[in-house]
Structure 1
Amino acid sequence: MEAGYNAVSRSFPTGVYRTLDVFLEGEDEGVGCISVTSSASAPEAANASSRDERSTRTYLMPQGQKRHHFSIPVEQFSTVNVSVENAIARYAYLNDADDLISLGVQMVNLDAENSVWPVLPKIEDMYDSRRSSVHFEPSTRWMNDPNGLCYFRGHYHLFFQFNPYGWGWDNMHWNHAVSEDLLHWRMLPIALEPQADFATHPEISGGAFSGSAITVDEEGNPCVGADADAIRIYLTRHQEVRGDIGSAVEWQATAVSTDAIHFGVESAVITRPSEAYGIDFRDPKVELGSRLAEASSDSAGVDSHRAYIVVASNIAASELPQTGGGRTQEHNHSDNLPAPHVAGVYDATIGGDFSQSPRGERNLKEKNEQQIPAMVLFSSSLPLHANKPWRYEGPVLADRAHSVAKTYECPDLFALDGKIVAAGALMHYRDHAGRFQPVKWYVGNLVNKRLEVEASGNVDFGNAFYATQSFYDDSVPGGRRIVFAWMADYAETAHEEVGLAHGTMSLPRELHVKHGRLYSHPIAEVYKELVGETLYTANPEELAQASVNDALLKAAQLSGNAYFADLTFTGDDDFSFLVAQSSDGSQIVRVVQRDGIVRLVTQGMRSDDIDFHSTQLTPTRHLEIFVDRTMIEVFVNDGEDAAALQFPITTSAVFAVDKPGSLATLSLHQLNPVWK
C-alpha cells in the first residue's frame, strides 16, 4: 500500500441523489477521514462517527479498519465539497434517487491518482477508445464471475464479482448492473459486501462468492420475472486465512430483495454434507424442478414441485459408484475420442497436461485419483424461504477423466431442447490443447438424479470464456436460455492503467442442443442493436482483386477497431484471415482453417503454444467474427462452436484476407457502441 496518500478535495452537484457512497482505503499511518461540506444541511450518517462544524461533517475511519464503506447522506440539488485525508477513495458514486433502477448511480471521481476523469464522469469519459465498445465491463477496478442473472419487472439484472479497492482480485463484493436489452447497462449500487469482521481482520479473506437468482412471488413461489414480487439469491460465503488454503470454509446462503437493489439479512442454507467432499464447495446454481422435469422421464427422480441447487465441489473417489448400477455406456466427446462413463460419473479418456498454472508449468507428475470434480445436487420444497431446509441428493455428475482438476467452478444444470445439460469450469486444469481451465458441457438424461452423459465438449474453444452462468429468460414468448461468461485474461494481455477496469463479460449467447451438441450463438439483440453500418461488402469476383485488403483495412480503421465480419463459404479449402494486430506488428491474431478445422492462431503472445481448435462436425459454411478492441469472439456455423480471446490494447484496426479458401461473401460492419 502506498504511504502518504495525497489529500483530495473536489466539489460537485448532487443532483437527484440523496447518498454518497465511498469505499475508502486508509494508509498505514494516521487515521483516514472524509469531510463533506454542503450548501445545505443534511442528516447525520448512521454508520460512521461524525462531528458537525457548521455545514461540514467529518467521518473517521473506524478504529482498526483500513478499508471502510461510507454511506453519507447528502441533500438533493445541492453542491458538496468532499475532502479525503490519510486515505484514498477507491470507488465512489451518488446513490439513492427516485426510480434508481431506470437512472443508475452517478460515478464520482474522488481518486487523487485518477486525473483522466472529471469529478462526475459521463459514460463517454469512462469508456474511451482503450476499452470495449460493446462488451460489458465496470467503470473501474476488478470484475470476475457473472452472478444472479435474472429478468425482473421489465429489467435484466447482472450481478458480478467485484473488488472496489483495486485492479486485482481481493475480498469479494457483488456489484450490480441493469439493462432492458442485455446490451446497454446502467450501474447500480454494490449489492453485497464481504463479512463484517473482515474489516478488522485483514489476515482473513473471502467474502460474497458467486451465486444465482430466482424470481418469486410474495409467498416465495417461483414465478415469471414480469409478475414477481422479489428476487431470491443463493450465494457462497467464503472465509480463509490468507495464504492457508486448508483453512477455507464455504457455505451457501440466501437473501431476498423486493426492490432489486437492497437485500435483507442472509441465512445459511447449505453446508458440506460430509467429509467426503473437499473444502471447495461453492457457486450454488438454482433451477426449478418443473423445468428439469420437462426434459426428464419418470425415472429421472425429479420432483416438479421442488427447487434444485447444484453446487461445485470434489468428492472422494471411494464415494462414487464404480459401475453405475452395472451399466457402463459410451458417449461421444467433442474431440472424437471414445468416452466410457457410468451413470453420474464421466470417464472420457482424454488426456491433459497435469498443470495447475495458466503459464503451463507441469508441476503434477500424476493424476489425483483420490478426489474427483463433482457437481452436488440439493433440493427444497416450495415455497422458498430463508430457513427452508435443502435436502442432499448426492452428486449429479462427477468427472474422473479430469480428476487432475481441483474442483468444478460455477456449475450449471438445466433442461434444454428435450435434454439435460450440465456445465462447469475445471479449476486448475490445462487440457491437451493447452487451454487453461476450460468450461465443459455434458448433454444427457437424468436417471435417479444422476446425469447419464451422451455427449460432452468445451463450451468455448478459446481461452477467455470462464465462470459461465446461464439463466432462463421468461420475458420472451417460449423462453430462451442465455449465458454470460467472464472473459478471463489468462494470457495476461491487460495492464493496469488509470481509468481502466480489469474484467469484461462476453456477449450474451443463446444456448441450444442440436445434433446432440451444445450450440451457443449471440442473442438476436446483438444483430439488431449492435451490428450497424456496412463498411465493406464483396462477392467472389471483388474478393479476387488485388486491392481487396486495402479496402478491408480502410473499413476496419473506420470502425474504430470495433467491427463485425460476416463470411460465407462454398467449399472446404483452407483459409486465413488477419483480425488483430498491434501497432508495431509484433502481436497478431488470425482466424484460420486447416484440414477443415477452424482455429485461432496467435503470434507474439503468451498463448502462442495453445492449439485453439474447433470441434465442429460439419464443414465451415458460415463464420462470424466480432472484434471489439481487446475482445474477439468467433462463431462457427451459427453456433456449432465458438471461441473467445483477449488481445492487448492497440490503436490499430485491421482485417485482411491472407488466404481466401472457398470464401463466397464477406461483409464488414460497424459495431454500434453501447457506452453512450
Structure 2
Amino acid sequence: MNTLQQAQDAVQLAAQKMNQRYRLGYHIMAPAQWINDPNGLIQYKGEYHAFYQHHPYDESWGPMHWGHVKSKDLVHWEHLPIALTPGNDYDKDGCFSGSAVDDNGQLTLIYTGHIYIDKKADTFYQTQNIAVSQDGVNFTKVVENAVIPEPPADSSHHFRDPKVWKHENNWYMILGNSTKDMVGRVILYRSTDLRQWDYIGVLAQSDGSLGFMWECPDFFELNGKHILLFSPQGMEKQGDLYNNLFQTGYLVGDYQYDTNHFTQTSSFTELDNGHDFYAVQTFLDEQSRRIAIGWMDMWESNMPTKADGWCGALTLPRVLTLSEDHKLLMNPVEELKTLRNAEYPALRNQTITTNYLVPTNEALLEIKAVFDLRNEQAVCLKIRGIREEETVLTYDYTTKKLILDCSKSGKTEDGIRTATLHVEHELTLQLFIDSSSIEVFANHGLATMTSRIYPTEERLGFEVAAGANVKELTYWTLNDIWK
C-alpha cells in the first residue's frame, strides 16, 4: 500500500506543475507523467475500465505501473488510483502490459512481470502474474504468482503482454514472444482456473518478414473468421508501408480449438497508417461490439510534451468490423456524439471555385466532409493556424492515396504518412481534432490515420481547396471532458 500511495502522491504533485498547452480535451491521459500501452480493457459491472502503462515519477518511460480510468459511456473518463506497482520478486522492475477478465464477479488483471538481470546490458526475464479486485478499484496480487514463471524452452527472453479470454470451460492466454533465433511469434496457454497454465504451442509465427518480436497480441472472432492482432517489431519499410519504427496490424484466418491450428487466409495488414498508433488492445462489450483502443504515440518519436511534465495518450475507442473481403474496419464509437457542443453546417452541394475557409479558433473539433469525386482528381482539406502552420489531408484519385501531412504542425521531420484507399465516386472523411492530435476515418473505416500534432499558433480554421465538389461539410465544436 505504501508504494501505491507514493506513486499516487507523485503523479498528483507532478500534475500541479504541468504545462497545459498540449493537454488533450477528450482522450485518455494520465493526470501527469508518462503513459504508453493500453491494458486491461473491460466492461465490468456496467462500467468501462481502461488501464495503461504508466511511470508516475517521470515524463519518460521507466518502471511500469498500471494507471487506471473508468467510464460509463466510453467518452467521459474518471481517473482512479494507480492499480499496480512493481516491487515483488516476480515483477520488481515493472508491471508490463496485459489484459483483464471478469472471473465470477472478480475483476482479474493478468500482466507481465519484468525483472532485470543487467539493466545496462538490457538483459532480463519476464513472468506472467495475476492481481484481483472485488470492487474494481483496489487490487491484490495473488499468492500463486508467478503463475507462469518462465517461457517455453525454445523461447528467447521476450515473453510478455498476456491476452486472456474464456472459451467454453477453459481460459486461454496468448503471449507475444520470439524464438531463440529472434523470430516473432504468438504462443498459447490454457487453464481451468487462471492459476495453473498448460503450454499448448505456437499459434502463429513470422515467415521471416514480420520482425523479431510480436508484442501486444490479441485474438478474437469476427463474422466467422478469427483475427490475430499484434504489434511486430523489426519490420523493414516498404514504400508507403511500415513507415513507423513499429507497427500494429492483423492476420485473418480460421482457427480450431481442438487442434490449436490457425490457418491464415490473408497477409499482414497495417491497422492504421498514421504516425502514432501502437499496442492496440480490444475487448467485447455488453452490446457485443469489438472495441479497440491503442497508444497514440510512437517509440523514438519527437515528444514535445515531455518538456511540459507529461507524455502519452490513448486513441479514441473504435468499433472493429470485418468487411466482406476480410478487411478490418475501424470506426469511432457512436457514443462520441455526446462530445458535440454545437453543430455548424458549412457547405452542401457546392463546387468550390476558390479556396474556402471555415473560420473557427476552436481547438476541439469533429469534421465531416463528403466529396463527389466523379469530376475531379484530388481533394485537399487543411487545418490551418493563423500564420503558417497547417495539417493537410489530401486524397489523390489517380494514385488512390490518402496523404496526411503534419510537417507544418510539429512533425518537421518524417511528417508525411500515406494510406491506400480505393474510392470510386464518393469520399467521406470524419476527422477528430484535439489540442495535439488528429484521427482520420475515411470511407467508414476503409482507411484510418492517427497522428499527434503540436501546433504553436492559434487556429484560424479549416480550408477546402479550390476544385472540390462538396456534397456535405459540417463541423462540431466538442466539449473538454477533463474540465
* Same fold (TM > 0.5): yes
Match of 1:548 in 2: 356
Q: What SS is found at the alignment partner of 1:614?
A: strand
- Aligned mates of 1:480, 1:273 — CA distance in 2: 33
Match of 2:284 in 1: 472
Match of 2:405 in 1: 601
Match of 2:327 in 1: 517
Q: Which amino acid aligns with 1:472?
A: L
In 1, are the aligned partners of 2:407 and 2:415 still within 8 Å (CA)? no
Worse overlay, 153-162 or 604-613? 604-613
Cα deviation, 1:137-179, whole Å, max 9, x if unaligned, reads 1111101111111111121111111001011000000111111
Match of 2:9 in 1: 92
Counterpart of 1:669 (choices 454, 465, 476) is 476
Residues 1:244 and 2:131 aligned together:
no
Post-superposition shift, 1:481? 0.5
In 1, are the aligned partners of 2:42 and 2:101 still within 8 Å (CA)? yes
Identity %: 25
Q: Which has the higher contact order (CA 8 A, sep 6+)?
A: 2
Post-superposition shift, 1:108? 4.7
Cα deviation, 1:394-442, whole Å, max 9, x if unaligned, reads 1111122434x23111110011121100111112435323232110111
- Aligned mates of 1:617, 1:287 — CA distance in 2: 35
- Aligned mates of 2:467, 2:315 — CA distance in 1: 28
Counterpart of 2:336 (choices 526, 529, 534) is 526
- Aligned mates of 2:263, 2:420 — CA distance in 1: 22
Match of 2:310 in 1: 501
Match of 1:306 in 2: 170
Higher strand proportion: 2
Q: Please give the residue correspondences for 1:421-500 in structure 2 after superposition, counting only pairs within 5 Å.
A: 421-432=227-238, 433=240, 434-447=243-256, 448-455=259-266, 456-474=268-286, 476=287, 479-490=288-299, 491-498=301-308, 500=309
Could you say what the CA RMSD is over the residues aligned between the two structures, in angstroms? Answer: 2.6
Counterpart of 1:539 (choices 337, 340, 348) is 348
Post-superposition shift, 1:570? 2.2
Post-superposition shift, 1:611? 5.5
Cα deviation, 1:41-62, whole Å, max 9, x if unaligned, reads xxxxx95xxxxxxxxxxxxxxx
**For the structure 1 residues 672 and 186, does the alpha-carbon distance in structure 2 shift closer, same or farther, using more than 3 Å as the test?**
same
- Aligned mates of 2:411, 2:439 — CA distance in 1: 18
Match of 1:614 in 2: 419
Post-superposition shift, 1:181? 0.8
Q: Which runs of 5+ in 1 are unaligned?
A: 1-45, 48-67, 72-89, 94-106, 117-125, 199-203, 218-228, 290-303, 317-369
TM-score w.r.t. length of structure 2: 0.89
Match of 2:99 in 1: 212
- Aligned mates of 2:413, 2:349 — CA distance in 1: 32
Instruction: Name which one, 1 or 2, has greater alpha-carbon Rg.
Output: 1
- Aligned mates of 1:70, 1:181 — CA distance in 2: 28
In 1, are the aligned partners of 2:100 and 2:110 still within 8 Å (CA)? yes
Residues 1:627 and 2:433 aligned together:
yes
Match of 1:182 in 2: 74
Residues 1:562 and 2:355 aligned together:
no
Q: What SS is found at the alignment partner of 1:638?
A: coil
Post-superposition shift, 1:311? 0.2
Residues 1:263 and 2:72 aligned together:
no
Post-superposition shift, 1:569? 2.2
Match of 1:644 in 2: 450
In 1, are the aligned partners of 2:110 and 2:128 still within 8 Å (CA)? yes
Residues 1:397 and 2:204 aligned together:
yes
- Aligned mates of 1:412, 1:440 — CA distance in 2: 10
TM-score w.r.t. length of structure 1: 0.65
Q: Which runs of 5+ in 2 are unaligned?
A: none
**For the structure 1 residues 659 and 413, does the alpha-carbon distance in structure 2 shift closer, same or farther, using more than 3 Å as the test?**
farther
Q: Which amino acid aligns with 1:520?
A: M
In 2, are the aligned partners of 1:170 and 1:205 still within 8 Å (CA)? no
In 1, are the aligned partners of 2:356 and 2:465 still within 8 Å (CA)? no
Post-superposition shift, 1:608? 5.0
Q: Please give the residue correspondences for 1:96-135 in structure 2 after superposition, counting only pairs within 5 Å.
A: 108-109=12-13, 114=16, 128=20, 130-135=22-27
Post-superposition shift, 1:603? 2.4
Match of 1:577 in 2: 380
Cα deviation, 1:34-86, whole Å, max 9, x if unaligned, reads xxxxxxxxxxxx95xxxxxxxxxxxxxxxxxxxx6556xxxxxxxxxxxxxxx
Segments of 4+ moved more than 6 angstroms: none
Post-superposition shift, 1:545? 5.7
Post-superposition shift, 1:610? 6.4
